[in-house]
Structure 1
Amino acid sequence: MNGQQGWSSYNDGHVVSPREYLHTPVDSPVSGGGQFFSAREDGFERSAESVNGQRGYTLEAYNGQQHSSYNQQHSSYNHDGYDQERSSYTDNDNYNQHSNYAGNDNYNQRSSYNQGFYANQHPDSGATMLNKSTSSLEKQSPAKRQKRRCCGNGRYCWCFSKRCCLIFIPILLVILAGVGVTLYYVFPRIPVVTFERISVAQEQGSSVEQLLGSASINRQGVVTVPLVIHLNVTNPNFIPWTIHNVTVDGFLANSTQDDFPVGEGGLLEPFKMPKKTNTNDMPIYFNFRLSTDNDNYLSAAQTVQKSCSAGGPNLQFKYKAKIILKAISWLGIKPVISDTISFACPVSEIESLGINISDLTGLVGV
């Protein structure tokens, strides 16, 4: 093979370059002595020529990057098969001036095959050269890559076509507007609770009696007075709300400025509020209880006696209420309100229950 790597050999002894081998028709075998290969300057036509009745083939040339089928040492062109008088490829001056195959300086300067692939002695296959050419063409076409980009070239917005955006964006805006309006109307707003008044429970019924019991002073030294704390609730929501329960802890501020626990209370039943209302009376049933077991009982009893006497000061009652609403309690939100209310002692109402205020201090030591 004379050192030429990548060349192919036929059964008849003819050798061809890899590029020539790829472009040789299957039904047209190449043989030495009768057929030859020639390359035109345009390099991109594949045709058959006839010289003295003999067929030849023109190999594609890619601007000097492919392999010449003409080689002065390994040429398939047989000079012996054609006399110089009949051949159009004679070695006269005209041939030397214009032929790509002449071995003179003009050939070295003009031939696209002189600086071809094998001049660099780096024999890759023809398929490898085709792959390299394809890769170089792809690198030189950034416009095609930009067309595949989903954004930024004016044809797309947010990876959608303009037509899709024109349809999708208005629908999205309508949906967002609907969600915003819905949230505005259904977003929970905490009700506003204010103290209105306090009274002794006068209601009759088994539920009230079970919760409050009978007002009495028993022998264990416990005073129980059923009270009703009326709270005014304002509902700022656009939908009706239901308060399912309220737990209340009460304290009495005595003369020593200590908070004396006086019982607990709550709702007897769920309390319903219409939407956007501010006159909702919510009754809290509260058992006002004084127990002699508490160390501060005597001070608390004296405070009650003083307030319930003629012209006495108001009672200072502190409460802490936890409101339970199913609409927001599942979020862990349980509003807590606390306040200190001042009210006059309902002496007549307490005495109507059979409780003598003057007996409170005498319970010490019972």
Structure 2
Amino acid sequence: MSKQPGARPTPPDEHAGATQRTPAEQQRLRVLRFAAASATYAIGISILALCAALGMLSWARWGLIAAAFAAINLAFLLVFLRRANLAFADPSLTQGQVIVACSMMVPILLAGPRLDLVAVPFYSVLFVFAMLKLSSRQLVWTTAYMLATYALAVALRLHCYAGVLDLGDETVTAVLVVASAIWFAGAASYIYRLRSRLKETVARLGEIAARDGLTGLWSRRHIDALLLKEIQRAARSGAPLAVALADLDHFKSVNDRFGHAAGDAALQYASRAIGTSLRGGDELGRWGGEEFLILLPNANAEQARACANRLREALAAQPFDAATQARLTVSVGLAVWTPGEGVAELVARADRAMYRAKQAGRNRVEVDGEGSG
């Protein structure tokens, strides 16, 4: 149920709006990102092929490295296609991919004495991918793992190619790798903090957009998106769904007699009174002016009528203004969703029923397709 004004609101992302990605869309995006990473691996393998052509490593070793990368990428692809990645805290598996790539740098650096040339650019690419997704803590562990595997590779190179390596070149490369790691870790941590603040700002803006500024109820745009979701859910499950359009009676006279401040207070009172009368799972939004739209999932016509009468009685139970003792009444139109019906058609039927309630004397409930209530 929608929260009353002043209460802590439900975050909008709990109710997927029209622009929010579905789980299937999120998974497709992860696969596309993985494809981009695989393309980067292909570029790296091509660079190593150039090194092989220049005699910096044998073609046999190049073939083993290429086969290893192909097998690793195929394994990750199968994980994504089988949706097994969803079992992990990070469904994108960014840290796992970066760690595997860091591990593969050991055999790459051991494949030839002159391959220290690829260390800095290859590690830099890995850090760029890490910067885009990993948290500060993950970056610390990933950086530590990268430096540990690089230290292992250097130690093995010094053992395997003793007397062949240029220690000056090795030292410069090591300094560049370590300095790059420190720089990227610092930059990535800063970017992560910026990304976190941006995420919080977007969430706050989403909350502002989803809420009516005066009453704190769902805005028309958001309640419209929620209704679409409820219609889709009802279409899948076959469960009943009803909507109620409630319009305050003689609201113009409230503004004329007591002023617009009193009118605002009346709307706030109405939103609280209606909200407290709803069931758990019902949703309440301000549709426009003095109109409110209520979503009633799993409610047939009889249950929806009972709910509408309950909110009508709750609204009139006490005055909205203690000084004037003025009270509010409401006319409610109900419509029960029928298969194949869209948002506009369903709300239009509730609107027609609401106008019938007005014409029949106000302060009453009418159900589209039924007699007076």
Q: TM-score range by the shorter chain?
A: under 0.3
User: If each structure's strand is expressed as a fraction of its own residues, which one has the higher value?
Assistant: 1
Larger Rg: 1
TM-score (norm 2): 0.23
- Greater fraction of residues in helix: 2
**TM-score, normalised on structure 1?**
0.23
Does 1 or 2 have the higher relative contact order (CA < 8 Å, sep 6+)?
A: 2
